[in-house]
Structures are given as C-alpha cells and as structure tokens.
C-alpha cells in the first residue's frame, strides 16, 4: 500500500537503468540525505559525532571496500586492516613530505598506493582460493603491522613509533569541529558509495560476481580471472586505503603502530557478515551495528545500576559478537540487508498479503 | 607432467639460508645448534596445534579458526582450576570441559550449518573464536596466570664434549617436546588401529559414503572436536607453563594456520613436518636474518618472527598451492 511501484512506467533506457528506479525509494533517499546533510549537524551532540557518527562513516567506507572483495568477488580476506594502514601511513608521509598537496589529492594517492599493495598481496589469489587465501591475507596483516612498527622512515623516526597529524585543511576550510569533520566524511562516503554502486552493476561488478559464483565456469565464458580478481583487490584496497587515511587523519589524529591490527580486520569482516555480504546497504548496517553495540553494552548495565568493570564489558562484548556471528550465519546468512529486503517486500503487500 | 623446479628452488633457498650462518662462521657451532634446537621445540608445539587443526579439517571440512582460542581456553581452565586442586585433577576436569565444548559446538554451530559452503563454516568458527575468547576471560579472568608442571626450569648443559661451551637446553622444553611427540604417536595409532579411527578416516574421505555405510556423522564430529580439544589442552598446558597463560597464547596458536598451509591441509604428517619447518625457520630468521635486516634497513628492532611464518606459507602457496603433502585439487564445473 505504502510502498507500491505499479503505475510507474519506464519509457526510456535511462529511466530504466537509474540507480533508484522506484519513486518511493528516491523520495526516501533524498529525504535521508537532506536530513544527514542539513539536519544532523545541528541536532547531534559532540559525543554523538565523535564516538558514533565519525567512526561509523569511516568504517562504512572500509566495509564497502571489503564487501567489494569478499561479497562481490568471493575472495576472502582477513587482513584488510593492513590496507587501511597502508593508506594511513601513505597519507601521513605524503602530507609530511609534500606539504603543498591538497588533502583530497593526498587521499586519492594514498588510496592508489594501498591499491598497489593490495594487488601485490592479491597475486596469490590467482593460484589459490577460499580458505588458503585467508591465510595469504593474514600474511599481509602481520607483515604490514611489522613494516610500520619497525621501519623508522614510515613513522618519520619518531621515538615511540606513533605518529600524529595536523588538522585537515581543504581549500582554506579547516576541519576542526566535529560537525565539519562529519560533513566532509559524509560527502566522501556518498561519492564513494555512488561509485561502488555503479561499479557493481557495471561490467566489472558482473565479472566479479561471476568469479564468485563459479570461477571455472566464469573462465569458460571468457572472463579473465587475473583481471577480475586483481581489479577486485585493487578497488577494494583503494577503498580501504582511503578509509585508513581518513581513520588516521580525521578520527584518530595520532595513532600507534598497532592501530590497524588483526582485531580491526576481523571487525571489518564481521561488519559485512552481519550487514550482508554482497550488499552495499549491508555495509552501512554492519558498520552501524559494530560501532553501536559496544557502546550499548557499555551503557545498559549502568542503566540497570549494575557496576561492571570495563574489562568485563569488553569480554561480554566479545562473547556477544561471537554468538551473534554464529546466530546470523545460521538464521540469516545474508545479514541485516536481507532482513531489510524482506521488510520491504512485506510493505509492498501490506495490508493484503496473499 | 608437473613442474618441480619452483618447489625445488624454494626449498634449496631455504636450505642455503639454513646453513649460511654456520658456513660463513657468523655463529659458533654451539650457539647454532642451540638456536636449531630451540626452533625445533617451538616447532613441536606448532605441530601440536596444527594437528588439531588438520584433524578437524580432515574429518569435517571445517577450517577451524578457533583452534587458538581453544588452546587459550583450555590453558586458562587448567591454570585457574589448578589453584584449587592438584594439577592432574585440573587437567582431567579441563578435558571434560573441552569435550562438553566440542559437543556444544557440534550441536549449536555445526549441525545447523551442515551442507553450507566452507567459507560460511569458517566464519562461524570466527564467531566461536570471539565467543571463546570472551567467555574464557569472563569465567576464568584475564590476568596472566602460571601453570606449574613441577619440572625444574633451570637449563641443562649437554654435549659439552662435542661443542665448545656445551649447549644450553631447558629441561621443560625437552619434556614438552617428548610429551608432544608421544601425543602425536598416540594419535597416529588411534587413527590407524581403532574402529573409531577408521570411521574418522572414512568420514574424512567421503561424508556421504561414510554415512551410507552407517557411520554416525554427528558422533564422529563430536569425537573429532574432542580430540582437537585434547590437543589444544596439551598445547595450552605446555605453552602456559612456558610463557604464562595470557591472551597472546591465542595469537601464537594462530601460527598453526601457516603450518597447515605449508604441510597441506589434510595431512597429519604434513602438520608435523610443517610445524618443525616453521619453528626452525622463524627462530633462525629471527636470530640470524633479523640483525642483518635491522642493519640494512635501519629498523627499530627485529621481530620478524611475527610474520616470517605467514610469508613463508605465502611463498609456498605460490609455488605449490596444495602444500608439501596435500592432495592435488582438481576443479570441475
């Protein structure tokens, strides 16, 4: 009743192929975007920005990157924080050594460097697949952790190995208050989401999905596995590299050698499992879930007046994460995005389901 | 005809690297043998964890990321219960807990996910890993605990006649290696000679065929996970006695992954040989290659043993994807 697409006729290819073909979807999307750009900056508190919205936006970008590789191309990676760290350190060194570069250029270059490294570690995917690849990406994780902890040049010979960045400045606009950071990140995320959406429905995305569904068959119908897999690694690492640079520059400001460790990699993987593999919307859901859950777990016992040590809460969070992962895999392997789709389907038929 | 030269060249590079410190006189022979032995001791422990890993993969096709968490969980259980009771009783109780855990994992995780893709199962074990890490530390606490095995820790000098200054060996390392070797031998007998062992191997070869001749899959899985729990317990106790029981144990146990890659996923001998290779390789690399790298690239310290195992496994994957002893995999549409 509320969500009904009959009567909406498409009379040109352009209309048929638009990103949101249904009128209601377009309205909701524009409403959401308008609220996110013009409403949230005035309504949200600094706490909400700094501990939820900013990490949510950055991690969503990284989750989209990982989803392109795992969800769309079927190549599993448990080392994607490594590519985030490549992006972060590349951006740090570019900003430090070539100070006249604009931050946007730094961001893109950092992404490109991460893409190169990602392709390098993606080469094994041409010979191995599935779980073997998981171990290969673990190699990327531990190797990159080590490189940035030990090679002094990358951290500009700082004694503790930690680096700190100057506040980001764009065309004379200094991003120092939380709402400004939020608006910039939101803009970046929207642009990258639109690019990703169009990548996955274009020929590249179709090649990736063919590789995911059955690689041998894909090869038989003329898809080049080298090209498909390496582009997936490159694009995915590009996204993660950009996300890493943003994470370092805008969210953390200064970070220690192991800021991008295995835990972050696994968290990214959990985001796309819980959110939904092979779904961009799922990346948003998953990132929101993983960012908000620890905060909720922290707050709920306090609300009921139960005093818990931070250690206990973090262990409980671990347990709940673990249990939820298993739960989602069993009950809804396609994640929150699938639940959303089911809800939409229900709305179409409401109030007269057959 | 398969091409062998990449494998041969990789192995020869490794061998050259192995003898280089000795040949160039960079280290005295006594010290060299000490490092070698230290590597072998660690390698035995890696083999042990990798064994549990290979067992589960062989019998249920699950790539069990939770093996490290199981090691930590078992070690924590033993360490905390040994504070209240004698060690042997704590170990038996811990074993019982591991069996219950195996049963629960089979019931709650594997059975609902039967016939799912390997990647889904792998991710489920990721969930189990997180759950076990959190659960273990909630129940048993998250400080550093120690396990006292009652073996003197002072190093012993051996072979003083052969090398100048003799060789320092830790007694507990030696006992640990012996225990691990005994466990491996026992498991081998169990697999080859008992009816249950035969059933396990049948399941490993072909689930459906095994089921059709009346082997109960679910019970076999419980047994396999229990055996993996036993292996994790032994590894956890030995490691806990050596390093103290703490969270990092589960990270060290993660090294079982490159070990099984190197040895071949489905191969029990592969797990053992792979463990020894990785153990020796990373110790050698840390002691002899590390300083060279530090000098050459002006690094802030070595620590290359953190990634050496993984990169070695990666190189092996490139030249021989099925590992040293694995079965060659053929894809069909």
CB B91 within 8 A of CB B233: yes
CB B192 within 8 A of CB B31: no
Yes or no, beta carbons of A326 and B131 under 8 Å apart: yes
B114 touches chain A (CB under 8 A): no
Residue A143: closest C-alpha in chain B: B307
Helix (H) or strand (E) holding A91: helix A80-97
Confidence of residue B1 (pLDDT cuts 50, 70, 90): very low
Yes or no, beta carbons of A319 and B131 under 8 Å apart: yes
A251 touches chain B (CB under 8 A): no
The mean per-residue pLDDT over the stretch A283-300 comes to 87
A35-89 confidence digits (pLDDT tens): 999 988 888 888 888 888 999 999 999 999 999 999 999 888 888 999 999 999 9
Dihedral sign, Cα of residue B299, residue B301, residue B307, residue B311: positive
Confidence of residue B184 (pLDDT cuts 50, 70, 90): confident
Residue B251: closest C-alpha in chain A: A262
Between CA B106 and CA B62 the distance in angstroms is 11
The mean per-residue pLDDT over the stretch A314-332 comes to 85
A308 touches chain B (CB under 8 A): no
CB B17 within 8 A of CB B282: no
Residue A271 to residues A244, B120, B185, B298, Cα–Cα distance (Å):
16, 14, 42, 38
Instruction: Compare A180 and B147 and report the one with higher pLDDT.
Output: A180
A148-172 confidence digits (pLDDT tens): 888 888 888 887 778 888 888 788 7
pLDDT for B164 equals: 60
Yes or no, beta carbons of A329 and B123 under 8 Å apart: yes
What is the residue-averaged pLDDT of chain A? 87
Q: Which residue's structure tokens are 């209240």? A: B84
Residue A147: closest C-alpha in chain B: B299
ipTM of the shown complex: 0.83
Helix axes A103-122, A80-97, angle to 10 degrees: 140
Rounded to the nearest 10 degrees, how much is the dihedral formed by the CA atoms of A24, A208, B262, A141? -50
The residue among B250, B48, B237 whose CA lies nearest residue B142 is: B250
| pLDDT of B163 over the 70 cut | no
Portion of chain A with pLDDT greater than 90, in percent: 37
> Which domains are present in chain B?
5-11+26-319 (1.10.3470)
A136–chain B nearest CA distance, Å = 5
pLDDT for B162 equals: 63
Q: Which residue's structure tokens are 């990346």? A: A283
Yes or no, beta carbons of A326 and B124 under 8 Å apart: yes
A107-163 confidence digits (pLDDT tens): 999 999 999 999 998 888 887 777 778 888 888 899 998 888 888 888 888 877 788
Is residue B278 exposed (0-12), middle (13-18) or buried (19+ Cβ within 10 Å)?
A: buried
| pLDDT of A1 over the 60 cut | no
pLDDT for A187 equals: 93
Helix (H) or strand (E) holding A254: strand A254-255
A2 touches chain B (CB under 8 A): no
Number of Cβ within a 10 Å radius of residue B192 = 10
Yes or no, beta carbons of B124 and A329 under 8 Å apart: yes
Residue B247: closest C-alpha in chain A: A315
Helices marked H in B144-289: 171-193, 195-205, 207-212, 217-243, 248-253, 256-263, 268-284
| pLDDT of B21 over the 90 cut | no
Architecture of the domain spanning A47-349: Orthogonal Bundle (1.10)
| pLDDT of B165 over the 70 cut | no
Question: What residue spans define the domains of chain A?
Answer: 47-349
CB B278 within 8 A of CB B255: yes
Portion of chain B with pLDDT greater than 70, in percent: 89
Confidence of residue B157 (pLDDT cuts 50, 70, 90): low
Tokens at residue B170, please? 């830790």
Yes or no, beta carbons of A217 and B254 under 8 Å apart: no
Between CA B4 and CA A87 the distance in angstroms is 38
A136 touches chain B (CB under 8 A): yes
* The most confident of B205-209, B255-259, B287-291, by mean pLDDT: B255-259
Residues of A (268-287) whose Cβ lies below 8 Å from B: 269-270, 273
CB A35 within 8 A of CB A168: no
Q: Is the pTM of this model over 0.90?
A: no
A186-214 confidence digits (pLDDT tens): 999 999 999 999 999 999 999 999 999 88
CB A277 within 8 A of CB A71: yes
Write the CB contacts of B3 (distance below 8 Å, at least 6 apart in sequence).
none
CB pairs under 8 A between A and B: 147
Contacts of B250 in chain A (CB under 8 A): none
**How many residues in total does chain A contain?**
354
Residues of B (154-183) whose Cβ lies below 8 Å from A: none
Residues of B (47-86) whose Cβ lies below 8 Å from A: 63
């Amino acid at each position: 009743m509320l969500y009904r697409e009959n009567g909406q006729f498409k009379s040109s290819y352009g209309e048929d192929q638009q990103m949101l073909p249904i009128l209601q979807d377009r309205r909701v999307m524009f409403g959401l975007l308008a609220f996110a750009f013009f409403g949230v900056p005035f309504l949200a508190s600094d706490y909400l920005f700094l501990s939820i919205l900013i990490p949510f936006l950055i991690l969503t970008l990284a989750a989209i990157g990982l989803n392109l590789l795992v969800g769309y191309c079927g190549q599993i990676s448990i080392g994607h924080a490594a590519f985030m760290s490549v992006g972060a350190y590349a951006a740090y060194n570019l900003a430090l050594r070539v100070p006249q570069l604009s931050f946007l250029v730094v961001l893109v270059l950092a992404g490109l460097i991460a893409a190169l490294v990602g392709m390098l570690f993606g080469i094994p995917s041409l010979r191995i697949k599935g779980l073997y690849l998981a171990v290969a990406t673990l190699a990327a994780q531990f190797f990159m952790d080590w490189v940035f902890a030990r090679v002094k040049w990358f951290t500009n010979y700082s004694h503790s190995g930690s680096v700190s960045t100057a506040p980001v400045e764009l065309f004379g606009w200094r991003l120092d208050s939380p709402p400004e950071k939020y608006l910039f990140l939101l803009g970046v995320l929207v642009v990258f989401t639109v690019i990703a959406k169009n990548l996955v429905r274009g020929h590249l995305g179709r090649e990736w999905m063919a590789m995911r569904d059955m690689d041998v068959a894909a090869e038989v119908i003329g898809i080049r596995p080298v090209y498909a897999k390496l582009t997936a690694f490159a694009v995915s690492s590009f996204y993660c590299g950009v996300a890493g640079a943003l994470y370092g520059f805008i969210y953390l400001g200064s970070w220690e050698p192991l800021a991008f460790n295995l835990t972050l990699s696994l968290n990214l993987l959990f985001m796309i499992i819980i959110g939904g593999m092979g779904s961009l919307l799922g990346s948003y859901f998953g990132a929101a879930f993983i960012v908000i859950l620890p905060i909720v777990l922290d707050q709920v016992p306090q609300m009921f007046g139960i005093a818990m040590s931070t250690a206990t809460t973090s262990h409980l969070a671990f347990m709940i994460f673990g249990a939820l992962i298993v739960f989602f895999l069993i009950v809804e392997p396609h994640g929150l995005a699938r639940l959303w789709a089911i809800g939409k389907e229900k709305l179409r038929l409401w109030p007269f389901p057959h | 005809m398969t091409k062998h030269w990449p494998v041969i060249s990789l192995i020869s590079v490794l061998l050259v690297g192995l003898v280089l410190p000795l040949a160039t006189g960079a280290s005295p022979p006594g010290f060299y043998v000490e490092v070698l032995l230290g590597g072998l001791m660690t390698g035995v422990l890696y083999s042990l964890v990798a064994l549990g890993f290979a067992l589960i993969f062989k019998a249920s096709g699950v790539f069990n990321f939770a093996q490290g968490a199981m090691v930590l969980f078992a070690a924590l259980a033993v360490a905390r219960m040994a504070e209240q009771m004698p060690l042997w009783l704590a170990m038996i109780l811990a074993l019982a807990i591991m069996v219950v855990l195996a049963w629960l994992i089979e019931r709650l995780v594997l059975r609902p996910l039967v016939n799912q893709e390997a990647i889904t199962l792998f991710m489920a074990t990721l969930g189990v890993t997180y759950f076990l890490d959190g659960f273990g530390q909630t129940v048993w606490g998250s400080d550093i605990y120690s396990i006292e095995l009652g073996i003197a820790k002072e190093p012993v000098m051996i072979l003083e006649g052969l090398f100048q200054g003799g060789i320092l060996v830790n007694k507990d390392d030696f006992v640990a290696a012996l225990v691990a070797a005994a466990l491996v031998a026992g498991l081998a007998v169990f697999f080859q000679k008992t009816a249950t062992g035969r059933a396990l191997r049948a399941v490993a070869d072909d689930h459906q065929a095994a089921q059709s001749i009346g082997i109960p899959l679910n019970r076999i899985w419980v047994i396999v996970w229990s055996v993996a729990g036993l292996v994790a317990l032994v590894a956890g106790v030995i490691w806990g006695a050596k390093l103290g029981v703490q969270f990092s144990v589960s990270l060290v146990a993660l090294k079982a992954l490159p070990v099984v890659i190197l040895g071949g996923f489905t191969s029990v001998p592969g797990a053992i040989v792979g463990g020894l290779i990785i153990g020796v390789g990373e110790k050698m690399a840390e002691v002899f290659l590390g300083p060279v790298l530090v000098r050459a690239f002006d690094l802030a310290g070595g620590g290359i043993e953190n990634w050496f195992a993984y990169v070695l496994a990666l190189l092996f994957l490139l030249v021989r994807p099925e590992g040293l002893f694995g079965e060659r995999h053929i894809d069909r549409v």
